[in-house]
Amino acid sequence: MPENEFEWINKHTPKTYHHDGLVEGIGDDAAVYAYESNYDDILCVDMMIEEVHFKKQTMSPKDIGHKALAVNISDIAAMGGIPVYFMVSIALPKHWSDEELSEIYEGMNTLADLYDMDMIGGDTVSSPHELMISVTVHGRVEKGCHVVRRNAAPGDIVFLTNPTGRSAAGLHLLLDRGRWADYTKQEQKLLSYHQKPVPRVEEGRIISGFQLPASLNDISDGLASEANELAEASNISIELVKSQIPLAEELTLFSEDQYWDWIFYGGEDFELIGTIRETDWPVLQKKIQEKGLNIYQIGRVKEGPASVTLMDGEQEIKLEKQGYNHFKS
């Protein structure tokens, strides 16, 4: 743990910033940035706690930093926005070293640079037990273009950006064997989906750029849970088709029952699930594919009440809203 807070702040204060709108960065009582009249602001915050969201055996300090920022960027992506600034607060216990703390910030800054994000403040305190890290991200989106959950309507296409379940599979391997074990190339892919998730900012920007009625949600608690959130927010019914849901090749390393459970309830994939009017679907699909990105039709929106069902051939199965339990045995 750092012995001198002020030396630590000076050491990690950015020397340059990406955005001209920043008036005052780190070094004063608060950050100040200029408001842009043609944009709406987006603010989100997430907390990660040791032994709840991560363990030292499952993630390196750099991975922890990456993920702490990535989960917030994913929330910005789900609104169709651009991530701009971030602030970091860490409660640090004695069993975490100064070097490990520096690596956490390195993991965040490496990801932030991919999106031209600026760190503009935060706080560092001591913790009696576990490490806790809270990240706040400020984003922006053109006025009237933000995408929300409540826009789904009967007849809409339900879409998904990429396969789900890979993060949970990676966590399963890490809890079983630890991050220092030897893994095959396919297993390493699964580990990376858990340790270094990729926020789907570009896909979100394409969707918001249409300025069309669409809904979006990022998949933090599992495909079934997030589909239920869309259904509840829009007061509609969602019907998913099992044969249309993409299956990652790496998941076939496990039993069918296991990987379908991860696909629906695994969590922490940070893909985007959403809906769009059927007439707009071919245009969206084309725009996404032109960028070399993926998008899949996985179902339809029907009249309410709010619910999610899965069609498996002729069988209809209700998908319950179940929260993600990170270290469920």
Tell me how crowded residue 186 is: count the other CB atoms within 10 A of its CB.
14
d(CA 160, CA 238): 13
Q: Does 63 appear as a known binding residue?
A: no
Q: Is 269 annotated as a binding residue?
A: no
Structure tokens at 16: 């340059």
Judge whether 53 is annotated as a binding position.
yes
Structure tokens that stand for 285 in this block: 């699909």
220 is in an annotated binding site: yes
Q: Output the six-digit token pair for 226.
A: 């997030």
Round to the nearest angstrom and report the end-to-end CA distance of the chain.
32
Task: Give dist(CA 66, CA 115) in Å, integer.
Answer: 13
Q: Do residues 281 and 212 lie in contact, with contact meaning Cβ atoms separated by under 8 Å?
A: no
Q: What 3-state class would DSSP assign to 24? A: strand
Question: Cα angle vertex 250, ends 67, 219, to 5°?
Answer: 40
Ligand-binding site membership of 123 (annotated): yes
113 carries a ligand binding annotation: no
Rg of the chain over all Cα atoms, to the nearest angstrom: 20
Q: Determine how β-strand 132-142 pairs with β-strand 82-92.
A: antiparallel
Q: Is 183 annotated as a binding-site member? A: no
Please check if 75 is assigned to a binding site.
yes
From CA 222, how far away is CA 238, in angstroms rounded?
A: 15
Q: Is 156 annotated as a binding residue?
A: no
Rounded-to-integer distance, Cα 65 and Cα 113, Å: 13
Binding-site positions read 29, 46, 53, 75, 105, 122-123, 149, 218, 220-221, 268, 324
Which residue positions form the known binding site for Mg(2+)? 29, 46, 75, 123, 218, 221
- Known binding site for substrate: residues? 53, 268, 324
| Binding site members for ATP | 105, 122-123, 149, 220
